[in-house]
Structure 1
Amino acid sequence: MPFITNENTEEIVDIFYEDYGEGQPVILIHGWPLSRKSWEHQVWKIVEAGYRCISYDRRGFGISSFPWNGYDYSSLASDLNEIITQLELEDAIIVGFSMGGGEVVRYCTDYGTDKIAKAALISSIIPLVKQKDDNPSGVPEKDLLGIKDALENDRVGFLKEFSKGFYNYEENKDKISQAQLDYDFIVASHASPRGTIEAAKAWMHTDFRDELKNVDVPTLIIHGDADNTVPIETSAKQAAKGIVNNTFHIIKDAPHGLNITHKEELNNLLIKFLEE
């Protein structure tokens, strides 16, 4: 199986990736608490459109290494950099979903954009999840602490219910099956318990507002206006103001997990952006 090894962080990690197709490389960075498997409905469309599609498991998730430490965004961006470096990628397009948007921005901050042609932020947490005086639409601290406590006390119980909100399940039963919820639970429950919590701390508390200027390539921003997991006011709308060269699309009635519920709409927007 294909792995790249990153020896440049506190602990050496092996990152599992899948690599399909030929042409300009498109790198897919998954959200929390899932794995590369969440990109199922996008990978084949990207390959069919004539691109090389690379998806990988974030450290602590999927079948990548489960280190004890190293879940800060600079360590995570280092893994992305190793994929780009070791696979000798040029002119790459990096696509981050939810938490994965953080790797997109931190990569641009830490490594620049010489090897990057475009970027995309889909249902992204960028630039700031947490509520602050200057970020009133963010998630209150007590709610974030509640997530942390739930993960520490009953991780699998929390994850079992989490995906319902991820997809606004009650409103989207015609678009999401119980089997998909079960599948997500299986993927999430097999992730590193430590990694699940530490990665959550990273997306909860990292403030990327000052880093948005570093995303200096054409950038696609897609968010659902019914996203109850990552509020659009504190994420996509702020990102669209801070990233100069962006195209911003709001998908009506779409929840956080629009890569499943609104996959056709998302895929059409993404492929169009790749081809522009």
Structure 2
Amino acid sequence: MSTVINKTGAEEVALNLVDYGTGQPIILIHGWPLSHKSWEQQIPALVAAGYRVIAYDRRGFGDSSRPWDGYDYDTLASDLHAIIEELQLSDVILAGFSMGGGEVVRYITNYGEANIAKVVLISSIIPLVKQHTDNPDGVPSEKLEEIAQALQDDRVGFLKGFHEQFYGVDKDASAVSQGQLDYDFSIAAHAAPQATVKAADAWANTDFRAECAGISTPTLIIHGKKDATVPFETAAQQAHQLIANSLLVTYDDAAHGLNVTHAARLNEDLIGFLKT
């Protein structure tokens, strides 16, 4: 493991990352409330396919620094930019899972597409999670407020059950093992409390719809039809409509955590897209 320092104002944030393989670089950006370890089943496949795979812990999560502030998407995108600059990467592929899709889109908005070869959005929150009159399929505000309150009142208690819906265990007990649930809980529970709360506010309330229209990079969107965490209709379906040069691949039987439950299929679809 190594670290990249991003200095924002007077504050320096150390971003923990792994860097494996050679070839065209692909940066993997994890979802909330986990760490780079959530890419465990994708990293070996991508390295074997000939890519340089970089996966990092978002600030406040995993082994990265835990500043009090800086969990808005502009700052998170600046962390991604610092990694690309420090490692002197070019012709980069950006892959964002769930919340990580926001860093991808905001990076392109703030830093442009000149150095980005392809984009992948997996179970992504893009373009908008929250329900509005013009986003009727979104998650109702009261539900998001319940999550925010639960994180304030009993963060660890909330996280203990979070991944059951995440993987669809509430509908299919065999979706993942108890070991996987315990592993994810351990990672999530050890994230910084303030990061967990403030990052949730970012993914719940940021509207990327206007930004999506500015993306011309070839984009693969993969999403499960049974995703109860980030609904297909308000996320992938809309993202595909807004991002002109996008390909939508739907997993009819997948919940949110398809990087684990459908790892083999995801790896095949991902590598197939990257090779075209």
Shared fold per TM-score greater than 0.5: yes
1:41 alignment partner AA:
Q
2:258 alignment partner AA:
L
Matched, 1:21 2:21: yes
Shift of 1:10: 6.4
Measure, in 2, the Cα distance between the counterparts of 1:5 and 1:240: 34
Shift of 1:265: 1.1
Measure, in 1, the Cα distance between the counterparts of 2:232 and 2:175: 21
Deviations 1:101-128 (A, max 9, x none): 0000000000001110000000000000
1:216 alignment partner AA:
S
2:57 alignment partner AA:
D
Measure, in 1, the Cα distance between the counterparts of 2:82 and 2:31: 19
Residues 163-172 or 4-13, more deviating:
4-13
Deviations 1:77-119 (A, max 9, x none): 0000001011000001000000000000000000001110000
Deviations 1:233-252 (A, max 9, x none): 10000000000101110011
1:27 alignment partner AA:
I
Matched, 1:139 2:139: yes
Aligned to 1:219: 219
Q: What fraction of aligned residue pairs are identical, expressed as a percent?
A: 58
Taking structure 1 as reference, are residues 46 and 154 closer, same or farther at Cα in structure 2, changes over 3 Å only? same
Question: Which secondary structure does the structure 1 equivalent of 2:131 belong to?
Answer: coil
Contact 1:16 1:57 in 2 (8 A): yes
Contact 1:10 1:69 in 2 (8 A): no
Equivalence map 1:246-257=2 (5 Å)? 246-257=246-257
Contact 1:213 1:243 in 2 (8 A): yes
2:203 alignment partner AA:
W
1:208 alignment partner AA:
F
Aligned to 1:40: 40
Shift of 1:174: 2.8
RMSD: 0.9
Equivalence map 1:157-172=2 (5 Å)? 157-172=157-172
In structure 2, list runs of 5 or more residues that go unmatched: none
Contact 1:227 1:255 in 2 (8 A): yes
Aligned to 1:173: 173
Shift of 1:159: 0.1
Residues 7-16 or 177-186, more deviating:
7-16
Equivalence map 1:1-276=2 (5 Å)? 1-9=1-9, 11-276=11-276
Deviations 1:41-77 (A, max 9, x none): 0000000000000000000100000000000000000
Deviations 1:6-58 (A, max 9, x none): 01356321100000000000100000000000000000000000000000000
Question: Which secondary structure does the structure 1 equivalent of 2:45 belong to?
Answer: helix
Contact 1:60 1:67 in 2 (8 A): yes
Contact 2:167 2:175 in 1 (8 A): no
Measure, in 2, the Cα distance between the counterparts of 1:9 and 1:51: 34
Using the size of structure 1 for normalisation, the TM-score is: 0.98
Question: Which secondary structure does the structure 1 equivalent of 2:139 belong to?
Answer: coil
Question: Which secondary structure does the structure 2 equivalent of 1:221 belong to?
Answer: strand
Contact 2:165 2:228 in 1 (8 A): yes
Measure, in 2, the Cα distance between the counterparts of 1:20 and 1:172: 34
Taking structure 1 as reference, are residues 256 and 210 closer, same or farther at Cα in structure 2, changes over 3 Å only? same
Shift of 1:142: 0.6
2:149 alignment partner AA:
D
Measure, in 2, the Cα distance between the counterparts of 1:66 and 1:14: 9
Contact 2:168 2:175 in 1 (8 A): no
1:193 alignment partner AA:
P
1:151 alignment partner AA:
L
Runs of 4+ in 1 over 4 A off after TM superposition: none
In structure 1, list runs of 5 or more residues that go unmatched: none
